[in-house]
Amino acid sequence: MNDRVQITRLHELPPGIERLRADAARQGFRFIERLVSECTSGTNAFGQPGERMLGAFADGMLVGVGGLNRDPYVNDPATGRMRHLYVHSDYRGQGIGRAIVDHLLKDARPTFSQVRLRTDTEEAAKFYLRCGFSPRSEPDASHGLHFGPRK
């Protein structure tokens, strides 16, 4: 990742989210639409302990997002869920997605003993394997990363 990209914690949807949403829609991905809808309605404010939303900015422009929530699919507050990771198609291959994942995982460690996610594309599955996740064959998780017990 180059020096002109900064990863920042977001407390609300930033300017430029519409550009990401349009790019995601052109790529056939609907999860940025869900992110915008959930944040706008308040159903997901990334406000629980350990939760956060990050933005990647290149030259001041939003080029990627990603979030971390408590996993709503398990009754375990020590399980986090990576959600809504997306990098604009013009900025892929520059390490931005990996930087967002690395920041989210670093932030997850004090709160969560594991992080799970779900993806349904082969390209994303390979990406998450490179980030240290392992495949899972669970109905609500395709990949997971176990940190071990919290101290």
Give the full edge-to-edge strand order of the sheet including 5-10: 5-10, 52-58, 61-70, 79-87, 114-117, 141-146, 134-138
Spatial separation of the C-alpha atoms in residues 116 and 6, rounded to whole Å: 25
pLDDT tens for the chain, 151 residues long, are 666 889 999 999 999 999 999 999 999 999 999 999 999 999 999 999 999 999 999 989 999 999 999 999 999 999 999 999 999 999 999 999 999 999 999 999 999 999 999 998 999 999 999 999 999 999 999 999 999 665 5
Q: What is the pLDDT of residue 4?
A: 83
Planar angle of CA 81, 86, 91, nearest 5 degrees = 145
Q: What is the CA radius of gyration of the chain?
A: 15
Instruction: Say if residues 113 and 79 touch (Cβ distance below 8 Å).
Output: yes
Q: Which amino acid is it at 19?
A: R
- Whole-angstrom CA distances from 12 to 46, 67, 105 are 9, 12, 20
Phi then psi dihedrals of residue 112, to 5 deg: -115, 145
Q: Rounded to two decimals, what is the model's pTM? A: 0.93
- Give Cβ neighbours of residue 92 (< 8 Å, ≥ 6 apart): none
Using DSSP's 3-state secondary structure scheme, residue 56 falls into: strand
Spatial separation of the C-alpha atoms in residues 24 and 11, rounded to whole Å: 21
